[in-house]
Amino acid sequence: MGIWRIVLVPVLLATLSTSMGPAQAEIAPKRVLVELREQGGFAGLNDRVIVYGDGCARLTRRTGPAVRTCLTAKERRTLRGHLGRLKLGRSQPPPRGADFIAYTLVHDGRRVTAYSLPATWRPVVRHLEKIMARYRTSG
């Protein structure tokens, strides 16, 4: 019975430490607060801002590396205020022609695309564009 303790205890400890260790927290998905994608136009715009529930963000453009940053308390408050007034509605059909920008917002598990910004979208989109400009140039 003494040999079993010598063999079994280290195996149990190793199993427990890997199943409940800090690696699990790194694998857990982050909750997305809001995501904005701007795509299209003759210039080939392809920008994306994802703001997570913890206030941190991931910013990507068509060119260049992704930037990870955390928003200031004021930026988070402003964004949450705008999101509280956001009405997503339904996706708009794509317009005819080639030079248009598609704005896709993801919020509360819904994904909606618009080609002309609805009134309640404007403050959210403009705020996220300012965040993109600020952190892309300072990083």
The pLDDT of residue 112 is above 50: yes
Within a domain: 13? no
Give the residue from 4, 17, 68 showing the smallest Cα distance to 60: 68
Domain of residue 37, residue span: 30-138
Q: Are the C-beta atoms of 108 and 33 separated by less than 8 Å?
A: no
Q: How many domains does the chain have?
A: 1
Within a domain: 51? yes
What is the DSSP code (8-state) at residue 119?
T
> The pTM is what?
0.75
What pLDDT, in 10s, does the model give residues 17-73? 444 444 444 555 689 999 999 999 877 889 999 999 999 999 998 887 899 999 999
Query: For position 77, what pLDDT does the model report?
Result: 97
How many residues comprise the chain? 139
